[in-house]
Amino acid sequence: MASLRSLARPISTRTGARRSRAAAQRVLPLFVLGLGLVGMPTLLVAHGGLTRLERLQSEKKTVQIEISRLNKRMTELRADARALRGNPSAVERSARDELGLVRRTEFVFHFQPAEQR
């Protein structure tokens, strides 16, 4: 009669193998924990870890302030664009103030200060 063989890993019934596996299961997590306890402070101190962290936090704060300033400016520009789209007098005021345009029927007088005469 032919015997059937399993392709799976054979189950070890030796007590020595069980003990070594149990020891490995206890030691491995402790090794990883020890590596973390030693490695983390080393990473923080080496290569300017803490100073780099402080510099990046400062840079993040500066960028957040810049973003809030730009968001405020963007809101103002959107309000100006909305006013220009719907209000002809706002368009005329903008053309006069920013572009220096005048109507054909208007005269422009340029006055010089008294010191330059």
Phi, psi of 93 (to 5 degrees): -60, -40
Q: Give residue 60's pLDDT.
A: 97
Among 74, 94, 71, which residue's Cα sits nearest to residue 83?
A: 94
Return the higher-pLDDT residue of 70 and 43: 70
* pLDDT grade for 11, boundaries at 50, 70 and 90: low
Using H for helix, E for strand and C for coil, what is the string for the chain?
CCCCCCCCCCCCCCHHHHHHHHHHHHHHHHHHHHHHHHHHHHHHHHHHHHHHHHHHHHHHHHHHHHHHHHHHHHHHHHHHHHHHHHCHHHHHHHHHHHHCCCCCCCCCCCCCCHHHC
In which band, very low, low, confident or very high, does the pLDDT at 40 lie, cut at 50, 70 and 90?
A: confident
